[in-house]
Amino acid sequence: MRAVIQRVNKASVTIDNSIKSKINSGLLILLGIEEEDTYDDIEWLCKKISQLRIFDDEKGIMNLSVKNTDGDVLVISQFTLHAKIKKGNRPSYIKAAKPEIAIPFYNKFISTLSNHIEKEIQTGEFGAYMQISMINNGPVTIFIDTKNKE
C-alpha cells in the first residue's frame, strides 16, 4: 500500500463538473492499493498517518498531528502510485489491485483512518475520473510505502 500525504490549506475533488468533496486545513491522501496488501498494512498506515506530526505548534515547529489540530482529511484512490516504468516509457500497473480487491481495502482504509482520527473522512469516488484541486501548505508532501517502512 502506498500513500502520498500532502498537508493542505484546502483541497477538493470534482467529478463530472460537480464538487464531490472538499476540505479545509488538513491532509490530502492519495492511496494506491496493490494485490499483496493486507489488513495489517491498512492498520499500520492509518496509525502512522493519524500520528504523523507535520502540523505547526504554537512555536512554528512541526509537532502536531492531524488529530491534534482537528484537521480534515480527503482520501483519493490512486492506482497509478504502483506504476512500473522499468521497461519502455508506458507505465505498467500490473501490481495495482483489481477493483474486487481494491474497493474493500479502500473502504476499510477510510473507516480505519476515521476511527484513528475520530473524524469523518472525505473521499473521491473509486474508479471515477476525478479532478483534484489543492493548496499545499509548506509545501509538505510525504510518501509512505507499507512494504518499505523507513
Q: What is the pLDDT of residue 88?
A: 85
Mean pLDDT of the chain: 96
Residues 130, 12: Cα–Cα separation, whole Å: 10
Does the pLDDT value for residue 149 go beyond 90?
no
Catalytic pick from 38, 51, 55, 79? 79
Domain boundaries, the chain: 2-145
Query: Which option is the CATH number for 2-145: 3.50.80.10, 2.40.50.140, 3.40.50.2300, 1.10.150.570?
Result: 3.50.80.10
pLDDT, average across residues 65-91: 94
Catalytic pick from 78, 112, 122, 123? 78
Active site residue 14: no
pTM exceeds 0.75 for this model: yes
Neighbour count for residue 17 (Cβ, 10 Å) = 6
| Residue ranges of E strands in the chain | 2-15, 18-23, 26-32, 55-56, 62-64, 72-77, 122-123, 131-145
Active site residue 80: yes
Catalytic pick from 51, 80, 131, 143? 80
pLDDT digits (tens, 9 = 90+) for 96-131: 999 999 999 999 999 999 999 999 999 999 999 999
Active site residue 78: yes
